[in-house]
Structures are given as C-alpha cells and as structure tokens.
Chains A and B, each alone.
Chain A
Amino acid sequence: MKKIAGKESQKRKSRLAKIFMSPAILIQFFFGWLPIGMAFAVCLFHYHILKPEEYVGLANFQDLFADPLTFQVFKNTFIYTGMRLAIFLLPVVVSILLMEMNKSTIRIMMYLWFFPIASTASIVIWKWMYNTEYGLLNSILMSLGLPTLRWLNDPRLVIFCLILPGILMYGPGLIYLATLQSIPDELYEAAELEGAGFWSKVWHITLPRMRPVLAMMLLLSIIESMSVFSQPWILTHGGPNNASMMVVMRIVDLAIYSMRYGKGTALAIILFAILMVIIIIQRKYFKEDIDR
C-alpha cells in the first residue's frame, strides 16, 4: 500500500519536474545543442550573397589551409595562451602570501588586489595608457630618459601588451582566497607540531588542497585564452599587420564583415578540435579531481 503511494507520488513529482525543466530544455535545445549540431552542416556550404547556399564539401577547409592568415592566427593564439599560462600562478602566489598578513591587512588588501572593474573599461584604460603620443607609459619612459616604445603598434611587442592588463586587472584571486580559507587550521597545526616549515606546509598541505580548484582554473584559463576576443579586438583590432589577430576574431571577421559563414564555421571546428584534445587530456590526468 505504502509502496504504491510512493510510486504515485514519484509520478506526480516527475510531472512537476517536467514542468519545471521545460523552459530550460527548450533553451538548451535551441541555443545549446541545435547550433552545435548545425555547425557541422554549415561548414560544408558556401553562402552566396544573392544565390541560395551551395554544397561544397570540404572546400572551406581547403580554403583555410591555403590561407596563410589561418596559420598566423593560430600561431598568435598559441603564443598568447603560452604567455597567459606563464602568469597563471601569480594570483595563487599572491593569495598564499596574503594569508601571512594580519587580519585587517588581509581585508584591505583583498579589496585593493581583487576588486573588479568592468572589463571593457579596463581594456579601454590600457588603450589610453599605451597611447604612443599622450599615454602614461610613454611619458614615464620619457621622463626617465628612456626611448619611447610603440606599444600596440609594434608587431613584436603587441602580444606582450595584450598580456600586461591581464596581470593587473583581472584575476580569480577571490576563488583562491576562498579555497585557502576553507583549508582546516588543524592540518597546519598538526604539521607545525611535527616541525614542518613554511615550504613543506605549502607543498604538502596547501597545494594538494588547492589541486582541484587549480586544475579547473587551469582548464578554464586555457579555454579562455584560446578563444580570446574582446581584448585584442578592442586594443588592436588585429593589427599591426595581423600580428595580434586571434582565431575567434578571425571567425567573427569572416562571419559579420565578409558573410563567409561556411569558412568561419570551418575555422571554428578546427579550434573546437584543438580544444577538445586539450580538454580530453586534462580530464584524463585530473579525472579524479573534477569528477568528485
């Protein structure tokens, strides 16, 4: 008797669940899965302006591989990603060191180090700082008697210029701080009793405890920098001479300004394949962390 009632109530709950989920299912289908599926079809077509689209098979991919710009954008993106990874640990180090300060200093510094400003605003500020004639950076160099730099206009310097704002303006510091504060004090106290020093505490307690968060942030950071768009788009728009043109910028360029939907999607699929490989590798090596 009770079991039947339980079944009955599960049915009722399931029905309610379907109602609760229906908007999410609709949106997830139309804006989540449908475009992903369509991408594999769109990349096989050539879209004419006036005539209906035409099936061209893999010609879009051939077109991409014949285009030197394709290799250029991937090279730029890989350099950018590498440099972003080089500074990946900086906010972690800052957070760990921050914990050494006394309570009130932590409070103040947490605001000063990690308070956010709107991301476009921070990019635009740097554009003003990098200004070759009136910008702050060049006038500092000038007042020190050093030769001024051309910053964003210098093809060799430009990717470094894209990294610099990231060091100072954003940073997932709050997430690291929250993780650090969630490590139980007893662990450190026990280690202290056994005579562990600063480094061994960091190495044996802090870092292993942060491992899941670090693994996830690393993956997010790689995906984010492989698909970077707004920073280079606003700062340089790909210039000078495509030295800062990134993959997603090229996709948007092809889609909006040239209406080359097929070629753009083909490029997106190549990026997708590369990212999938990275994600699979990451999941293989950090499997136990992310799934738990």
Chain B
Amino acid sequence: MPLIPKVGRRKFRVKLVLLTIGAFLWIGVILRMIPLWWMFITSIKPAEEVYLIPPTLFPHRPTFAAYKIIFTLSGYISSTGAYIAHPSWMTYPMYVYLKNSLIITFGTMILQIPITALAAYAISKLESPRWSRILFLFFIGTMMIPGQIALIPTYLLIQHFPFPTRSIPYIPFTKIKWPAFNLFNTYFAVIIPAGFSAFYFLLFKGFFDTIPDSILNAARIDGASELSILRRIVMPISKPVFAAVSYFSFSAAWNSYMWPLMVLQREKLYPMSVQLARISRLLSGQTMEVRGREGLTEDLTKMIELGWSWNGLMAMSIVESIPVFVMFIIFREYLMTGIKLRGFK
C-alpha cells in the first residue's frame, strides 16, 4: 500500500516528491533496458556491422541471419574454391545445446520435485514425532553447511559412483575391484546430485505443516487410502508451493553453469550456459584450449567470414533467455502468493 497518504497527494511538494520517485524508477528501468536492447540490436546486425566503430544503435540492415547461422551451422565455399568447415568451437548447431539444456533442466525437475515433496510430506504428516525430528535434521543439515566443501569429493564420487575416492577400492582380501558406476560425462552426473534439495524441502514442509491434520484424519476415517489422500486432498491445496518450487527448480537448473562445466567435458553434452561462455571467451580472445593463439585468430576470422561473431552469441543469449522469461510470466501470479508461504520466512 502506498505510504504517502492519498489526501496529501494534491500538494505541490508531495507531487514533486512523487515525480522524483517516478523519474528515479524510470531511469533505473532505462539503465536496465540498455544491455537488453544492445543484446537484441547486436543479434540482428549483419556480421560486418558488428565491428563498426562507432557502433550503430539501430542496425542499417536488420537481418535474422545470425539466428539462422547458429541453428544450421554449415560451412562455406571460399573464394579459392575450398570448402571451409565450421570452426571447432561450435561443432554442433544450436539445437544440440538447447536439447542438452532441456534434458538437464526437465530431468532435474522431474526427479527433484517429487522426491523432495514426498520426503517433506512424510516428515510433516506421516512419520512419528521422534523419527521425524531426527530425519528433519538429516535432511536440512546440509543447508547449514556451505556446499563448496563438497565440490571436489562430489566430483570424485561422480567418476565411480558409490566411492568418493580417486580410484575404486578393492574388495578386501581379493584383487577384484568393487563394482562402480562412472557417471562422468553423462546427464546423470548433473541430474542425480540435484535429486534432493534441502531448500525446497523446507518450502514444502513449511506448507504441508499448515494443512490441518483434522482434514487428513477425516479422510482416513472415511476410508481413503494414504495415496488417495495425497492425490485428492494434499496436491490440490499445495498448488502454489509446487508452482513456486517448479519455478525455482527450473531457473536453478537452466542457469547452472559450474557443475555442468566440471562434469560434462564433451562438447556434445554441453548445455547452453557452458557453450555460451565458451563462445564468449573465443570472441574476446581469451583462450585456454589446445589450439593456442594462432588457431584462435584463424577460427575467429573463419567465424566472421561465415557471418557471425558477437551477433551470433547475442542471438544465442536471446534463445537461452526466452524459456526463463516464459516461465516467469507463467509463474508470476503463483510466485507472488507462493513466496508468502511460511517456509520462506
């Protein structure tokens, strides 16, 4: 509710204050729009125009060529008649990275939300008080501990699943190694560790705690099974919390960068975030990959000849941002109600 009272709003001084506030907010909005405008404008520039000094604020010849290039990625025939393949920095067309991002994001959501919600429901409504206190600490204890400490052990764990060590240990008294799964360079390496989230567990539990036991008991007396109580009573009431968690879970997985960078080290598996960062490094001339400086300049020249440089990267950024924006629009109403839930206090 506005803090400046309605009755006073006619006075000149108050009007001036309101006008200043409005101006401040609109200036902020404009400042915020500049990078986004610049992203959009760059993405619809043809390759020659990207490197103009001074840059054009409105493209002379707007074109969607950059979008087409990143989604098709074919080579070209040079003036000497030789076929020039695409540089090694982007071996696959955009939809491969898009697909990886989608698999990782929806895989995470499909695994994480039901597992976390079921655990929270069990703790909140089913388990006996003594056990639920112990298990509650077991579940949220990791939230109190900064996650970076587990970074390297998890990285080792991923490479031979149940053993967080450099190499697989031997079965005692034999020369046989324990069976172990190598999750490295698979989508599971990203999806499974995210399968349970202490933070969403708290959100869910906070909400389930507000559902009165008497409703559930009434259903039990009427002979409803626990599963149908969950499906017919708990799920419909809990829509806002599921919506809020879905949104958080989606954006966390979609934006995740560090962990995919560490455990997915094959270009075919890169999600969009990793690939975007990689291309940006190429375009600003920072290289740490095998080809070195000459290879880099050569690749850059090739890319510009093919018709994309920063315009292609900005097109990729827009493609990456669309799902985030769409999810924001879809969940906005739920978010505003969902955040007010007790768990998030």
CB within 8 Å of B: which residues of A?
Answer: 9-10, 13-14, 16-18, 20-21, 23-25, 27-28, 30-36, 38-39, 42, 47, 52-53, 94, 96-101, 105, 109, 112-113, 115-129, 131, 133-134, 136, 139, 142-143, 165, 168-169, 174-175, 177-179, 181-183, 185, 188, 192, 198, 201-202, 206, 212-213, 216, 223, 226-227, 229-230, 233-234, 237, 239, 247-248, 251-252, 255-256, 261, 264-265, 268-269, 271-272, 275-276, 279, 289, 292
Contacts and interface: CB of A to CB of B under 8 A. Distances in A.
Given A13-B226, A17-B122, A134-B50, A121 B148 contact: no
Contact of A188 (B3, B155, B336): B3
A268 B18 contact: no
A123 B277 contact: yes
Interface in B8-43: 18, 21-22, 24-25, 28-29, 31-36, 38-39, 42
Secondary structure at the B interface, as helix, strand, loop or mixed, is helix
A261 B166 contact: yes
B4 to A, nearest CB: 6
Nearest to A234: B277
Contact of A117 (B198, B310, B324, B336): B324
Given A39-B153, A119-B255, A125-B314, A201 B3 contact: yes
B55 interface: yes
B53 A133 contact: yes
B193 interface: yes
A102 to B, nearest CB: 8
B345 A292 contact: yes
Contacts of B39: 121, 125, 128
A273 B136 CA distance: 24
10 contacts: A33-B141, A53-B166, A118-B317, A123-B277, A124-B317, A133-B53, A165-B35, A169-B35, A174-B339, A201-B3
Contact of B152 (A125, A142, A198, A255): A255
Contact of B153 (A25, A42, A122): A42
Contacts of B320: 118, 120-121
Interface stretch (B65-73, B82-90, B127-135, B299-307): B127-135
A202 to B, nearest CB: 7
Contact of A227 (B18, B146, B165, B193): B146
Given A13-B126, A31-B154, A100 B4 contact: yes
Given A14-B126, A20-B126, A127-B284, A117 B325 contact: yes
A32 B201 CA distance: 13
Contact of B220 (A9, A33, A139, A276): A9
Contact of B38 (A117, A125, A143, A264): A125
Closest CB pairs A-B (n = 8): A24-B119, A121-B317, A35-B150, A17-B126, A35-B153, A17-B122, A117-B321, A120-B273
Contacts of A269: 149
Nearest to B29: A112
A27 B193 CA distance: 7
B58 interface: no
Interface stretch (B156-164, B171-179, B290-298): B156-164
Contacts of A265: 149, 152-153
A28 B280 contact: no
Contact of A128 (B38, B146, B149): B38
B138 A178 contact: no
Given A23-B195, A134-B50, A272 B149 contact: yes
B33 to A, nearest CB: 7
A255 B55 contact: no
Contacts, number: 316
Contacts of B3: 96, 99-100, 188, 198, 201-202, 206
A182 B128 contact: no
B24 to A, nearest CB: 7
Given A42-B153, A42-B156, A113-B32, 6 more contacts: A27-B192, A118-B321, A119-B257, A136-B34, A198-B4, A252-B261
B29 A113 contact: yes
Contacts of A268: 148-149, 151-152
Given A9-B220, A120-B320, A252-B258, A16 B1 contact: no
Nearest to A279: B144
B74 interface: no
B2 interface: yes
B336 A52 contact: no
B1 A118 contact: no
Contacts of B281: 234, 237
A113 B28 contact: yes
A132 B261 CA distance: 27
A233 B201 CA distance: 30
B123 interface: yes
